[in-house]
Amino acid sequence: MFEGNIQSDFLCPNCSKLTYDFRFARPVLLNSDHARTLIHGLKYQRSIHLARDLARLAAEAFADPRLAQALREKWTLVPVPLHWRREQTRHYNQSQEIARHLGELLGLPMVAALKRIRATPTQTHLNRKQRLQNLRGAIELSRAGKRWSREGPAGVILIDDVFTTGATVQECARILTKNQHENIVVVTVMRG
């Protein structure tokens, strides 16, 4: 992991051979005990009130000049989906809650444009290759996503709580790209 603002040309040795269907990912926080505590509180302890605080943190990503176009053109926030069983157990989708509050803070629209059509095991202990295989064919456009897609939005900001290997947001971006969306970026609260 490379920290800080890199001021010169730089080729990440971890990512140089990878291709993504999104332009870039912008996490706000590095992996830390405090950041993990907040995210785990929202995800696993039903502390839904933390979604607003995490959205405020995610809003800091929009100081990045690469996101100026997204703000100016009012790109759509699209949360990473949960399978309905996991959402039923958790009582909400943490990424959707973060996206909802983020949209309110920034004046951006939010659409639950994607859905998980297949339950997948947790990605926590899988490597990148296993994560990609685990997600293949698990996500598609939702009914709302199909309607929204026909409107031809200017761009998409995928929202998730944590960016670890990029496998989850890559599968989401792949589906969006397949449906004619080209301007896709990712904003997450934490870098895993």
Whole-angstrom Cα distance, residue 99 to residue 59? 10
Cβ–Cβ < 8 Å for 144, 113: yes
pLDDT digits (tens, 9 = 90+) for 164-180: 888 899 999 999 999 88
The answer to whether residue 3 scores a pLDDT higher than 80 is no
Proportion of the chain above pLDDT 90, given as a percent: 67
Q: Sort strands 25-30 and 184-191 into parallel, antiparallel or unpaired.
A: parallel
- Mean pLDDT taken over the chain: 89
Give pLDDT, residue 182. Answer: 85
This prediction has a pTM of 0.88
User: Of residues 9 and 40, which shows the higher confidence score?
Assistant: 40
For 37-62, give one letter per residue: b (16+ CB within 10 A) or e. Answer: ebbebbbeeeeeebbebbbebbeebb
pLDDT digits (tens, 9 = 90+) for 33-44: 999 999 999 999
The answer to whether residue 20 scores a pLDDT higher than 90 is no
Tell me the residue ranges of DSSP E strands in 17-123. Answer: 25-30, 76-79, 114-116
Pick the CATH number of 25-191 from 1.10.3470, 1.10.1760, 3.40.50, 1.10.8: 3.40.50
